[in-house]
Structure 1
Amino acid sequence: MTIRRHTKLVHEGEYVAEVEVKLLDSEEGWTPYLSMEDARKLDEVREALRRCDLATASKLARVFRLTPVAA
Structure 2
Amino acid sequence: MKQRKKVKYVHEGPYVAEVEVELLEDDTGWSPYLSVDDAYKLDDIREAIRQGDLEAAAKYGRIYELRPVAHQ
The normalised TM-score by structure 2 is: 0.95
Identity of aligned residues (%): 56
For 1:15, give the aligned amino acid: Y
Q: In structure 1, what is the Cα distance between the partners aligned to 2:61 and 2:42?
A: 9
| Residue 43 of structure 2: aligned partner | 43
Root mean square deviation, CA, Å? 0.7
> Where do 4+ consecutive residues of structure 1 move more than 6 Å?
none
Q: In structure 2, what is the Cα distance between the partners aligned to 1:49 and 1:32?
A: 26
Stretches of structure 2 lacking an aligned partner (at least 5 in a row): none
Map 1:1-71 → 2, pairs under 5 A: 1-71=1-71
The normalised TM-score by structure 1 is: 0.96
Stretches of structure 1 lacking an aligned partner (at least 5 in a row): none
What per-residue deviation string (whole Å, max 9, x for no partner) do you get for residues 5-36 of structure 1? 00110000000000100000001231100001
User: Whose helix fraction is larger, Structure 1's or Structure 2's?
Assistant: 1
Q: In structure 2, what is the Cα distance between the partners aligned to 1:28 and 1:65?
A: 38
Q: In structure 2, what is the Cα distance between the partners aligned to 1:37 and 1:29?
A: 21
